[in-house]
Amino acid sequence: MKLLTSIYTIDEIENLIDSIDYALINVPKLSISYKDIDLDKAILFLKKNNKGIVLSINKIMHPADVLPLEKFILKYKDSEVLFYTADFGSLALFIKYNIINRVIYNPETMVTNYLDLGEFYSLGLNSIGLSSEITLNDLKLMNSKTNARILYQTFGYRLMFYSKRKLVSLYEKQANINVDKHDLYLKESTRNDYFPIIENDNGTLIYRSYLISLLDKLSELDFLEFAYVESTYVDKDIFKRINELFYDSIKNKNNLSKNIEELKLMNLNIEDGFLYKDSVYQKEELKNE
């Protein structure tokens, strides 16, 4: 198991460098959520520190995006990097340039059963992200039925909704108001939850109202190729410590118990998500396995 840490800025790399296996760099314009970052400088710094590099280009791709994406792939295809995408159509370009084995495909909620996982595995992908909306037992079953290398989000706010539409701007226009889009949350009148919401050039992202943490499940998820931790909407210092706890727990299994206790003392808004909720996404013929 390797720790895959989301990265948005050079400062974050420098702050987290001692507890990174692989850095998931969110590429400006091509990743669904990003900040300004000197990509080549970030890659050079990570290579000097012997860290793995994954370039996130996971936005919804449209016909106008194909040429810029292809140019990006050509620029970095001979570098020692992996690519992280959620767009199935983009895989054709990686196949074209014979680097599909360096692609992590994570379509967020789509891969929900071992039949689908097996089909994606047959493409020759490096790793495949499983749905965040299936149970722990489903995860274990899917791993046992295929030889696929698996990525799974083990910490952070989970993406619940992504649309190309700029919904906050549409709301501003409809309600005739101006909204500060920095650190913005969505609250429905009938719920008490606050959902992190981001609007950028790529559209609108809405995250679940609670953090997920699977630190206490790492021993059951030891089959993962990548344990992915996401920093969006998490305080910088808190995330640094969380990242250290996951890194230490992966490298030193004897420290797992004390690290779990330290995480509990942080009193974060952590819930189990769908880990123990019977999935509505399983194919009918698989539900009884």
The residues near 19 (Cβ < 8 Å, ≥ 6 apart) are 3, 5, 240, 243, 244, 246, 247, 248
* Segment among 141-150, 183-192, 233-242, 271-280 with least mean pLDDT: 271-280
Closest CA to 86 of 138, 145, 132: 132
Q: What share of the chain is helix, strand, coil (3-state, %, to 5)?
A: 35, 20, 40
Query: Is a pLDDT exceeding 60 seen at residue 280?
Result: no
- Give the DSSP letter of residue 38: -
Q: What pLDDT was estimated at residue 272? A: 86
Domains, the chain, with CATH or none: 2-159+211-286 (3.20.20.70)
- Give the β-pairing of 127-129 and 150-163: parallel
Binning pLDDT at 50, 70 and 90, where does residue 21 land? very high
Q: Which of 27-36, 173-182, 271-280 holds the top average pLDDT?
A: 27-36
**Residues 9, 39: Cα–Cα separation, whole Å:** 9
Which tokens sit at 48? 């000097």
Show the CA angle centred on residue 16, arms to residues 248 and 46, nearest 5°: 110
Closest C-alpha among 229, 240, 236, 231 to residue 16: 240
Q: What pLDDT does 273 receive?
A: 84
Instruction: Encode pLDDT of 62-93 as tens digits.
Output: 999 999 999 999 999 999 999 999 999 999 99
- What is residue 285's predicted lDDT score, i.e. its pLDDT? 53
- pTM of the entire predicted model: 0.93
Share of the chain above pLDDT 90, in %: 89
